[in-house]
Amino acid sequence: MKPFTPDELRAKANQIRRRDLQAVFEAGAGHIGGEMSVTDILTALYFNVLRVAPQNPLDPNRDRLVLSKGHTACVLYVTLAERGFIPKEEITTFLQPMSRLNGHPNRTKVPGVETNTGPLGHGLPVAVGMAKAAKISGADWKTYVVTGDGEMQEGSNWEAIMAAAQFGLDNLTLIIDHNRLQQGARLADTNNLAPIAPRLEAFGWEAVEIDGHNMDEILAALSHEGRTPGKPRGIVAHTNKGHGISFMSDNVAWHHKVPNAEQYAQAMAELEEAAQ
């Protein structure tokens, strides 16, 4: 697939946000705040970075993407649909009885999903195993994993970070959706990890900090050009929960709140205006 320009990626991300908003509103459930914060990252990955083939989702030479913050499954489904892995019309079945589009992604049901996620702190350890497997077999495919910042409080992540440095997994990229909020509270009020980048560097990683809503910065950080051999890369993406929607932005209440009809209309209008 021909790479998208940054402007095309921004337009695609806005389109994905609108469809995600509609799906959560119609389903009456979801995790809209964290989905809005991670949309730009997923859009850049699926439309400009990942070497994947929707017509052959199990291609052994594909790149792997693990969405460790699996509660934001809806935006992953919308992105996979836009990329051609699943029919776009299937998004209407999100959370419906017998639908394969559950509240957390399932690799045995949804093409393009690499591993089941939801229990936070599991995705990065799995991704380390994937990256190590590629090294052992001499394969050149890359592994990417997206976590939340609250999720990084889990000790399993730091064990995985130590292992990745020990094994020299320079084929592994961790993107932390650093929106500063977790369920029910701010990161600063629970177990504050910030600043995160120095912690990654202390564990032997290469770390960069970016604006997680700036496509140029996202693409530059995800590039494998100029990376330090033998070091995994950690990208601390500074984002806003509920990004693009004024009353949701940086508001902890929107972790899994669902907009009412009036709020939905306002949110959709704001996203449509941003697309113009």
Whether 1 has a pLDDT exceeding 80, the answer reads: no
Contact, 165 vs 232, CB < 8 A? yes
Percent of the residues in the chain that have a pLDDT greater than 70, as a whole number: 100
The rounded distance, in Å, linking the Cα atoms of 255 and 185 is 10
What is the reported pLDDT for 276? 86
Architecture of the structural domain at 6-275 = 3-Layer(aba) Sandwich (3.40)
Q: How confident is the model at residue 174 (pLDDT cuts 50, 70, 90)?
A: very high
Helices (H), the chain: 6-27, 32-44, 73-83, 123-137, 155-166, 196-202, 215-222, 261-275
Query: pTM score > 0.85 for this model?
Result: yes
Per 3-state DSSP, what percentage of the chain is helix, strand, and coil (rounded to 5)? Answer: 45, 10, 40
What is the reported pLDDT for 31? 97
SS3 207: strand
The rounded distance, in Å, linking the Cα atoms of 115 and 127 is 9
Whether 44 has a pLDDT exceeding 80, the answer reads: yes
Whether 2 has a pLDDT exceeding 90, the answer reads: no
- Give the pLDDT confidence of 5-24 residue by residue, as tens digits: 999 999 999 999 999 999 99
- Give the pLDDT confidence of 86-135 residue by residue, as tens digits: 999 999 999 999 999 999 999 999 999 999 998 899 999 999 999 999 99
Q: How far is CA 124 from CA 159, 163, 241, in A?
A: 10, 11, 21
Percent of the residues in the chain that have a pLDDT greater than 90, as a whole number: 96
What's the rounded mean pLDDT across residues 193-199? Answer: 97
User: Helix count (H) and strand count (E) of the chain?
Assistant: 8, 7
Q: How confident is the model at residue 3 (pLDDT cuts 50, 70, 90)?
A: confident
Helices (H), 152-253: 155-166, 196-202, 215-222
